[in-house]
Amino acid sequence: MSFIALVLVFLTFSISVFNFITIRKPENDDLVSESVTVVVPMRNEAENVAECISALSSQSSVDNLKFILVNDSSTDDTLALIRQAIAGDSRFTVIDSPELRTGWLGKVSALQAGYEAADSEFIVTIDADVRLKPKALARAINQLKDLKLDFVSPYPQQVAVTFSEKLIQPLLHWSWMSTVVLRLAEKYPIRSTAIANGQFFVVRKEALDIIEGFSTVSGKILDDIEIARSLIASGFKGIVTEGSAIAKTRMYSSFDELRSGYGKSLWKAFGGRIGSFVAIFFIFTVGILPFVLFLNGYLIGFILFLLSVLTRELSALRSRSNPIYAFLHPLSSALLIYLIVYSWSKRGKVQWKGRTV
């Protein structure tokens, strides 16, 4: 078991170092002349409407820019606040309470409604809780063009305030930065190494047209990963990039929200029961076992624990999260294992924004 831990920890450390040095960062803010449409699905997002629209309104260096806000059957004041916030700005279009398509999940159905209403060369989808810096769109689209890709997903900074958020949220960034060689995935895309984050996703409309929008992921909880896989399967190229300098988001504000959020999706994150078991084994081996060996006086345990902490530190430096919490990686790992098990126990029963998922 110690040998397996040695191999996996050194492998994740090596991948982390390589990605830390080579990860793509959107930095080109030249004027974008192509047409761009931003689609934002909103369901019961009253607390996010004002700041989200303010950030969208402040976007610069994009000549032809439109926004489609999809009010997904909200039961709070989302629609009224949207209309108040856009205040006659002609760049904004509101689609009110689109009909939920049979067999579709709510968010994906809303995204499809926005896609069908868009006619631009580039489509950007963002979540309502994402806050874009003023040149975020320009930099993301220029990055896609400069790299000659079909889609990019600039990974936003994951803002964490409560203790549970600080334990779990940095693992999102660490999970792919320590396991996927990004430059290889960019040059030789395959479905198994597809990474994307629906919080901020940029795609050429002609590529999305080929796969008929979001129809291939109509019932998928992890629609962002699955849309990337669908695009790759159709011959298109894309990759996740470091977007913490141009976008940020706070996904959850309490442990109950965090547990419900991950409860609805983690059981699907690893491809089934066997995949989940492999993931738990991996998380335990690289995140918990080194600390256990260290506590029992093994030198190899100390070395492996130090390396596992360093992988988290590298991820924290790139994603602009608090590096101190890297030292609590064993605790973070244990909590993540709990959330995976919890998600399996609650599959198909979790309520999210008033819908069972």
- The predicted-structure confidence for 214-238, as pLDDT tens digits, reads as follows 999 998 889 999 999 999 999 999 9
Query: What does the pLDDT look like over 98-142, one tens digit per residue?
Result: 888 888 999 999 999 999 999 999 999 999 999 999 999 999 999
Q: How much is the pLDDT for 351?
A: 58
Q: Which of 221, 249, 277 is the last residue of a domain?
A: 249
> How far apart are the C-alpha atoms of 133 and 194, rounded to whole Å?
26
Q: Is the pLDDT of residue 355 over 60?
A: no
User: Does one domain contain both 169 and 125?
Assistant: yes
User: Does one domain contain both 184 and 286?
Assistant: no
User: Does one domain contain both 242 and 327?
Assistant: no
Domain that holds residue 274: 2-21+255-344
Answer yes or no: is 351 within a domain.
no
User: Does one domain contain both 29 and 161?
Assistant: yes
How would DSSP label each residue in 154-199? EE-EE---SHHHHHHTHHHHHHHHTT--HHHHHHS--GGG----TT
What dihedral angle (degrees, nearest 10) is formed by the CA atoms of 326, 328, 330, 332? Answer: -90
User: How much is the mean pLDDT over the chain?
Assistant: 94
Q: How much is the pLDDT for 293?
A: 94
User: Does one domain contain both 243 and 277?
Assistant: no
Q: In this structure, are residues 126 and 38 in contact, taking their beta carbons and an 8 Å threshold?
A: yes
User: Does one domain contain both 64 and 140?
Assistant: yes
- pTM for this model (two decimals): 0.93
Q: Is the pLDDT of residue 97 over 70?
A: yes
Q: Which of 217, 249, 281 is the last residue of a domain?
A: 249
Query: What does the pLDDT look like over 238-296, one tens digit per residue?
Result: 999 999 999 999 999 899 999 998 988 888 888 888 999 999 999 999 999 999 999 99
Residue 304: what are its φ and ψ, rounded to 5°? Answer: -70, -40
> In this structure, what CATH number is given to the domain that contains residue 28?
3.90.550.10
User: Does one domain contain both 93 and 212?
Assistant: yes
Answer yes or no: is 221 within a domain.
yes
Residue 288: what are its φ and ψ, rounded to 5°? Answer: -115, -45
**Strand ranges across the sheet with 130-132:** 130-132, 247-249, 157-158
Q: How much is the pLDDT for 1?
A: 78
Angle at 329 between CA 325 and CA 331, to 5 degrees: 100
User: Does one domain contain both 66 and 147?
Assistant: yes
Q: How many CB atoms lie within 10 A of CB 173?
A: 24
Q: How much is the pLDDT for 313?
A: 97
Q: How much is the pLDDT for 352?
A: 58
88-113 burial code (b ≥16 CB/10 A, e <16): eeeebbebeebebeeebbbbbbbbbb
User: Does one domain contain both 323 and 210?
Assistant: no
Task: Read off the pLDDT band of 49 (50, 70, 90).
Answer: very high
How would DSSP label each residue in 261-297? HHHTTGGGTTSSHHHHHHHHHHHHHHHTHHHHHHHTT
Query: What does the pLDDT look like over 269-284, one tens digit per residue?
Result: 888 889 999 999 999 9
Answer yes or no: is 323 within a domain.
yes
User: Does one domain contain both 8 and 28?
Assistant: no
Q: Is the pLDDT of residue 348 over 90?
A: no
Answer yes or no: is 220 within a domain.
yes
User: Does one domain contain both 127 and 188?
Assistant: yes
Q: Is the pLDDT of residue 206 over 60?
A: yes
Mean pLDDT of 329-344: 96
Q: Is the pLDDT of residue 356 over 90?
A: no
Cα atoms in the Cβ-side hemisphere of radius 13 Å centred on 33: 0
Number of domains comprising the chain: 2
Mean pLDDT of 55-80: 96
Task: Read off the pLDDT band of 194 (50, 70, 90).
Answer: very high
285-302 burial code (b ≥16 CB/10 A, e <16): bbbbbbbebbeeeeeebe
Q: How does strand 92-96 pair with strand 62-71?
A: parallel
Q: Which of 215, 249, 283 is the last residue of a domain?
A: 249
Query: Helices 273-287 and 2-22 sit at what angle, rounded to 10 degrees?
Result: 90
